[in-house]
């Protein structure tokens, strides 16, 4: 499929999903994918000659881990244009994302996804706790954050547990930042001290020790006759919802891990057999 038509198809898929309450979750094992079957493709005996395409466009909601199809729907399309790209574009214009056909397709997929998480929620939570116990905090958070909010009961349970796991992760990071800052101070490398202390936030366990280090460094700098060191630790306003903030911080950690640590090349041959 030409590049321009690919982008158009992607936009149609996004509209179908969002119009029917299906959001995106990075790294989810459930995805919506298209399949195009060309029934015929001809060049018309006209002046100028035109490309005429007759195709079937299918959409699938699949579980990429179990290689199962949860929902599917198909639509017949025709397009005519001066080029392949134009013919594809003309055909795809006939896809109406608001059509009831797609509503039923998405609803069936959502029902299957909810059934999956309702039956597997305890397994997901146990896996995330086991990963956290092995100090694989990023993957543990990724496992919890992969649960979509359409499965509300499981989602709420996972978000609650993610707060505790994020706190363990944050404390681990805090100790690392503090140790690096102390080593930098021993080498009189103030920029590196500031870089690492600047990553320590009030929700982290070693925050008080970081404040003590700042006081120590400030006193030492002033004793040497240099101008006062003006570095300040981060502060949180009382209005900050700490629970919500930790969930969002945990989500950032999970998505970063998904980008750098969980990238997978999935074998799609089970679906695209030809």
Return the ∠ at Cα 201 (arms to 198 and 203), rounded to 5°.
170
Strand partners, 100: none
**Which range among 78-87, 113-122, 142-151 shows the weakest confidence by mean pLDDT?**
142-151
pLDDT-derived band of residue 208, with 50, 70 and 90 as boundaries? very high
145 shares a domain with 70? no
**Residue 122: how many other CB atoms lie within 10 Å:** 10
> How far is residue 83's CA from residue 43's CA, in Å, rounded to a whole number?
10
On the question of pLDDT at 218 being above 90, the answer is no
163 shares a domain with 249? yes
236/221: higher pLDDT: 221
128 shares a domain with 78? no
Residue ending a domain, among 46, 65, 98, is 98
254 shares a domain with 147? yes
Mean pLDDT along residues 221-235: 73
On the question of pLDDT at 74 being above 90, the answer is yes
pLDDT reported for residue 86: 92
79 shares a domain with 195? no
pLDDT-derived band of residue 240, with 50, 70 and 90 as boundaries? low
pLDDT reported for residue 162: 95
Mean pLDDT along residues 8-35: 83
pLDDT-derived band of residue 272, with 50, 70 and 90 as boundaries? confident
Q: Which CATH number belongs to the domain containing residue 9 in this structure? A: 3.30.160
Residue 21 lies in a domain: yes
| Mean pLDDT across the chain | 87
Following CA atoms 100, 103, 105, 106 in sequence, which dihedral angle do they give, to the nearest 10 degrees?
A: 170
pLDDT-derived band of residue 265, with 50, 70 and 90 as boundaries? low
61 shares a domain with 150? no
Following CA atoms 28, 162, 258, 133 in sequence, which dihedral angle do they give, to the nearest 10 degrees?
A: -120
On the question of pLDDT at 136 being above 90, the answer is yes
149 shares a domain with 56? no
Domain containing 32: what range? 3-98
Residue 68 lies in a domain: yes
Helix (H) or strand (E) holding 177: helix 152-186
Residue 114 lies in a domain: no
254 shares a domain with 130? yes
| SS3 sequence of 193-258 | HHHHHCCCCCCCCCHHHHHHHHHHHHHHHHHCCCCCCCCCCCCCCCCCCHHHHHHHHHHHHHHHHH
174/228: higher pLDDT: 174
180 shares a domain with 252? yes
On the question of pLDDT at 261 being above 70, the answer is no
pLDDT per position as a tens digit, 96-131: 999 999 999 999 999 999 999 989 999 999 999 999
> How far is residue 79's CA from residue 88's CA, in Å, rounded to a whole number?
6
SS3 148: coil
Q: How many domains does the chain have?
A: 2
Contact assessment for residue 165 and residue 145, using Cβ atoms and an 8 Å cutoff: no
Contact assessment for residue 180 and residue 196, using Cβ atoms and an 8 Å cutoff: yes
Q: Which tokens hold the place of 178?
A: 């503090």
Provide the CA 105 distance to its chain's centre, in angstroms.
Answer: 23
Residue ranges with strand state E in 49-182? 51-63, 68-81
Residue 18 lies in a domain: yes
On the question of pLDDT at 31 being above 70, the answer is yes
255 shares a domain with 222? yes
**Which range among 44-48, 132-136, 232-236 shows the weakest confidence by mean pLDDT?**
232-236
> How far is residue 138's CA from residue 40's CA, in Å, rounded to a whole number?
49
Residue 104 lies in a domain: no
Residue 155 lies in a domain: yes
Residue 267 lies in a domain: no
Residue 273 lies in a domain: no
């Amino acid at each position: 499929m030409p590049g321009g038509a690919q982008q158009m198809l992607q936009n149609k898929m996004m509209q179908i999903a969002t119009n029917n309450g299906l959001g995106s979750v990075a790294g989810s094992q459930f995805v919506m994918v298209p399949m195009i079957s060309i029934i015929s493709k001809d060049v018309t005996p006209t002046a100028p000659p035109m490309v005429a395409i007759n195709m079937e466009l299918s959409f699938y909601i699949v579980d990429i881990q179990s290689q199962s199809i949860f929902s599917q729907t198909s639509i017949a399309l025709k397009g005519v244009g001066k080029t392949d790209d134009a013919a594809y574009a003309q055909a795809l214009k006939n896809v109406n994302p608001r059509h009831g056909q797609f509503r039923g397709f998405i609803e069936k997929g959502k029902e299957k996804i909810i059934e999956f998480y309702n039956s597997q929620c305890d397994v997901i939570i146990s896996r995330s706790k086991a990963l956290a116990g092995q100090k694989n905090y990023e993957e543990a958070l990724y496992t919890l954050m992969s649960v979509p909010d359409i499965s509300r009961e499981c989602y709420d349970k996972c978000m609650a547990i993610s707060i505790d796991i994020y706190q363990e992760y944050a404390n681990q990071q805090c100790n690392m930042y503090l140790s690096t800052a102390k080593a930098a101070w021993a080498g009189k490398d103030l920029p590196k001290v500031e870089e690492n202390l600047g990553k320590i936030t009030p929700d982290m366990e070693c925050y008080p020790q970081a404040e003590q280090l700042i006081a120590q460094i400030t006193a030492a700098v002033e004793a040497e006759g240099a101008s006062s060191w003006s570095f300040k630790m981060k502060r949180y306003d009382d209005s900050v919802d700490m629970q919500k903030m930790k969930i969002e911080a945990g989500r950032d950690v999970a998505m970063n891990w998904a980008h750098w640590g969980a990238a997978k090349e999935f074998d799609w041959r089970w679906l695209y057999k030809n």
